[in-house]
Amino acid sequence: MTEIFHLSTFLRRPIFDADGDRIGRVQDLVARLGDDPHPPIVGAVIRIEGRDLFVPIRKIGGIDKGKMTFEGRRVDLRKFERRPGELLLAEDLLARHLINLVRGRLIIANEIEIACVDKTWEVVGVDPSRRRFLRRVLGAQMGQHVKVDTMVDFASIEPFVSHVPSARLRIPYRKLSRLHPAQIADLVEEASHDEGSEIIEAVGLDRELEADVFEELDTSHQLEFLEARNDDEAARLLSRMEPDNAADLLTEIDQERRRPILDRLAPEQQVKVRHLLSYNADTAGGLMSPDFLSIPATATVADALEAIRTSSVPAESLQMVFLTNESGQPIGSAAIAPLVRARSSEPALSIARTQLAHVHAHWDVPRVARKMSDFNLTVLPVLDDEHGTMVGVVTVDDLLEELLPQGWRAEFGVGAVEE
C-alpha cells in the first residue's frame, strides 16, 4: 500500500548535509502542472542563510524517513524563481479555494497529500476536512499515515491560479465544460472576485456556455462581471442569452448603459427583448419566452417529431408542441411523450389536448403557478387577450426561479464551500 504524507509535515523542517549538519529548512515543495493527473514534485524551496534556493527533488533523500538530507555535491546559490507551469504547494494551494470537478463545488485545501509512486513524488490529493486543518495548525509527526476517507483525488481538482505569476496557468475550459452551467454559476458566486473572473474567462472560450452561465448567475454577479465589459461586449453576451433572461438583465443595468446596449443587440434578439420589456416583470408576460414550436393542425406525428428534431427552440420550451389552424390560432398542444409513443402516420391533433390550458400576459405570477399546477404542465402557453395568437410560453424552470425567495441557494447551502 502506498504511504501518503501530509505536506505540512515537510514545511519548515530542517534539511541536513551528508555529515549531518543542518544547512537550511524547507519552505515549500514545487510541483509541475501538465497532463499528469497527479502533478510530479520537481523540487523544494530551501531557505539557506536567509536566501530561498531551489533544490531538485532527486537531490533530496530521506523524505519518507523523517530526516531530509541534501545528497548533491553543491547547492545552486541562485535565488529561486518560479518557472511557467510550476505550483508552490503551500503558497498556491494550502488553505486556498480549489474546484472539485466531480461534485462541482469549491473546497478549501486544509491539507495537501503527497506520495512516492514508482520512485516519483507526486501530489495525490487534497483534504478539505477541518480536522486536517487543526492537525496542520497544531502540528504532527513526520511520516504520519493519512486516513483517506476525506481525501479528494487531485485528478478531480482544479486550482485557482489567478494569483500565480505565470500566464500559462489557467483553468482549462475542457474541464469546466463538463459541469452544468448552474454548477459553474454556483462556483462563481462562492468564489472571490478574482477566482470568479478566472472561471468566467475560461468558459468565455465557448460563447454559448458563457451565456448559459450568465443566465444562472444571480443579478449582483451578472452586473459585477458586466461592469468590466464595454457596451459592444455586453451586447454580444446578451445576444446569446435567452430573450427573457436578456430582458431581465437589461432592466438591472444602469440607465445610461441600457439603451446603448439594447441598440447593439443582434436584430432578431433586439426585437424579442424590446417586446418583453413592455411587460411587467411580475406577470406572465415578464416571465415568458417568445420562443416556442408551433406546427399546422394538419401535421402528422412524424411531422411533429421532425419539427422537434430540427427546431432551434430551447429544450425546456420543446416539451410541448402547439398546433395552429389556418389563421394561426392555437387549437391544441401535444407533449413529447405521447408523440413518441404514437404511430408516425397518426394525426398529431388526435393525441393533442384541444382544450388549451393557457394564461394571458397580464396575469400575475400566483395565477400562472395555479394554472400550471392544476393542469400538470411544464410549458404553459401565453395567449393574447383575443385568444387568437400565442405570444410566448412560461416554462416551469422560469416559474420556479421566480417563486423561490432571493438568496435561497445560499440559505440552503446549495453553493456553499464543501468540507
Sort residue 328 into left (φ over 0), alpha (ψ -120 to 50) or beta. left
- Give the pLDDT score at 262: 96
Question: Averaged in consecutive runs of 10 residues, what is the pLDDT profile of the chain (419 residues)?
Answer: 86 89 92 89 92 91 83 80 88 91 91 92 91 51 51 88 57 84 93 91 92 94 94 96 94 94 95 94 94 96 97 93 94 95 96 94 96 95 94 94 73 58
Contacts of 128 (CB under 8 A, 6+ apart): 107, 108, 109, 110, 150, 152, 418, 419
| Nearest by Cα to 26 from 46, 4, 1 | 46
The amino acid occupying position 87 is L
The H or E element that residue 402 is part of is helix 396-403
Strand partners, 70: 60
d(CA 168, CA 85): 6
pTM (two decimals): 0.80
Residue ranges of domains in the chain, CATH in brackets? 4-157 (2.30.30.240), 173-281 (1.25.60.10), 294-399 (3.10.580.10)
The three three-digit cell numbers of residue 176, written as one number = 469546466
Closest CA to 380 of 319, 294, 324: 319
Per-residue model confidence (pLDDT) at position 213: 96
Q: How far apart are the first and last CA of the chain?
A: 26
CA 341/CA 264 separation, integer angstroms = 45
Cα separation, 25 vs 44, whole angstroms: 10
Residues with Cβ within 8 Å of residue 123, at least 6 apart in sequence: 31, 38, 39, 41, 89, 112, 113, 114, 154
Residue in 79, 71, 19 with CA at minimum distance from that of residue 46? 79
Q: Decide the pairing of beta strands 68-70 and 14-16.
A: parallel
Convert 310-344 to b/e letters by CB count within 10 Å (16 or more is b): ebebbebbbbbbbbbeeeebbebbbbeeebeebee
For residue 412, what pLDDT is reported? 56
DSSP-assigned letters across all residues of 94-123: TTSEEEETTTTEEEE-SEEEEEEETTEEEE
Are 203 and 210 within 8 A, CB to CB? yes
Let me know: does 301 contact 360? Beta carbons within 8 Å: no
Among 343, 375, 337, which Cα is nearest to 358's?
A: 375
Task: Report how far residue 298's alpha carbon sits from residue 349's, in angstroms, rounded to the nearest whole number.
Answer: 7
Q: Give how far the C-alpha of residue 399 lies from the chain's centroid of Cα atoms, to the nearest Å.
A: 22
pLDDT tens, residue by residue, 263-283: 999 999 999 999 999 999 899
Task: Quote the pLDDT of residue 170.
Answer: 62
Residue with cell 541534501: 70
Task: Give the pLDDT confidence of 6-28 residue by residue, as tens digits.
Answer: 999 889 999 998 888 898 999 99
Distance between CA atoms of residues 107 and 128, nearest Å: 6
